[in-house]
């Protein structure tokens, strides 16, 4: 009876291990793919050297970039594209469309009301240009100022 | 040839002594494991908290409470970003320390009880 239990638990353990391993490979591949596209498209997206503006030359040596979201500060807004300086000091281009939801506390914002310096949490999907197509942008209000719209 | 009459009691005494030595060794071993896990708990917890904060996992996870309907709509992207930012190594380390702590506590108490029974008979 104990022997059977051991075999069943061993098989279950191997299945869980394989699942976690597969999941790790899947996530890692997505991040690696996004990081590769981000690096490949860097000149086109940011019009400058990778080591340039924010001094992030060794970014790629540290880790891969998160592909499905970013947390950071808005650097600039150009049309429907937002440039974000992430927590890891990596610049990311986030694209928006009319379906992108932008919120601060309980208020809905428009893209034009977003301003440089806003802290944001963005969730979205990576595209082939090393950018994130945003589904949702949450603006984190400044502790004392609350949600201020750009006039 | 007949064995000595006190042989049985000598064997029993010897067995008890061996059992006691074994129990003492186990108590010492598990006490060391317990102490190490208690010492390791704080840095492992701090490391986990620091990784959760720096990876952004906390910020993304908190969207469940603030924007549940959005998270439900875009659950696939939400799941992906949670998995991407999950600090797997520090979480595994923390859980391993917790497991060691719980197991060593359980075995230590069991062996202390056993040692008391051997020594005092209760």
Domain positions in chain B: 7-120
| Averaged pLDDT for residues A124-148 | 85
Length of chain A: 151
Q: What's the pLDDT tens digit per position in B24-70?
A: 999 999 999 999 999 999 999 999 999 998 888 999 999 999 889 99
pLDDT band, very low/low/confident/very high, at A55 (cuts 50, 70, 90): very low
Cβ of A92: how many Cβ atoms within 10 Å?
Answer: 26
Rounded to a whole number of angstroms, the distance from the CA of A66 to the nearest CA of chain B is 6
pLDDT at A56 over 60: no
- The pLDDT assigned to A58 comes to 47
The residue of B50, B55, B56 whose CB has the most chain A CBs within 10 angstroms, and thus the best one to mutate to test that interface, is: B56
Digit-coded pLDDT (tens) for A16-29: 998 988 888 888 88
Residue A121 and residue B67: Cβ atoms within 8 Å? no
d(CA A113, CA A96): 13
SS3 A2: helix
Q: Would you call A94 helix, strand, or coil by DSSP? A: strand
Residue A66 contacts B where some CB pair is shorter than 8 Å: yes
Residue A13, pLDDT above cutoff 50 = yes
pLDDT class of A86 with cuts at 50, 70, 90: confident
> What's the ipTM?
0.75
Q: pLDDT band at A62, cuts 50/70/90? A: low
For residues B1 and B72, which has the higher predicted lDDT (pLDDT)? B72
| Cβ count within 10 A of residue A117 | 9
What length does chain B have? 122
What is the percent of chain A where pLDDT is above 90? Answer: 28
CA distance to partner chain A, nearest, from residue B58 (Å): 11
pLDDT average, residue stretch A119-140: 91
Is A123's CB within 8 Å of B63's CB?
yes
pTM of the prediction? 0.76
pLDDT at position A50 over 70: no
User: Is the Cβ of A53 closer than 8 Å to some Cβ of chain B?
Assistant: no
Which of B8, B47, B85 has the alpha carbon at shortest distance from A123?
A: B85
Mean pLDDT of A136-142: 88
* For residue A61, pLDDT beyond 70: no
pLDDT at A48: 60
Contacting residues of B for A135, CB less than 8 Å apart: 70, 73-74, 77
Residues of A within 8 A of B85 (CB-CB) are 66, 69
């Amino acid at each position: 009876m104990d022997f059977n239990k051991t075999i069943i638990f061993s098989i279950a353990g191997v299945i869980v291990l394989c699942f976690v391993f597969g999941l790790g490979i899947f996530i890692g591949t997505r991040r690696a793919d996004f990081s590769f596209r981000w690096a490949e498209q860097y000149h086109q997206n940011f019009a400058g050297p990778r080591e340039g503006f924010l001094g992030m030359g060794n970014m790629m040596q540290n880790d891969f970039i998160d592909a499905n979201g970013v947390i950071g500060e808005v650097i600039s807004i150009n049309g429907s594209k937002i440039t974000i300086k992430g927590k890891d000091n990596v610049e990311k281009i986030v694209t928006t469309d009319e379906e992108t939801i932008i919120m601060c506390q309980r208020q809905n914002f428009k893209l034009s009301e977003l301003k440089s310096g806003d802290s944001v949490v963005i969730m979205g999907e990576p595209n082939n240009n090393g950018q994130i197509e945003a589904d949702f942008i949450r603006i984190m209000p400044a502790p004392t100022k609350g949600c201020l719209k750009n006039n | 040839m007949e064995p000595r009459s006190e042989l049985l009691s000598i064997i029993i005494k010897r067995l008890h002594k061996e059992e006691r030595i074994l129990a003492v060794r186990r108590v010492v071993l598990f006490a060391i494991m317990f102490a190490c896990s208690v010492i390791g708990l704080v840095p492992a917890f701090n490391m986990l908290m620091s990784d959760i904060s720096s990876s952004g996992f906390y910020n993304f996870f908190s969207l469940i409470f603030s924007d549940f309907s959005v998270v439900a709509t875009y659950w696939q992207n939400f799941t992906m970003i949670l998995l991407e930012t999950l600090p797997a190594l520090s979480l595994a380390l923390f859980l391993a320390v917790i497991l060691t702590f719980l197991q060593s506590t359980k075995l230590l108490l069991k062996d202390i009880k056993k040692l008391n029974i051997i020594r005092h008979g209760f």
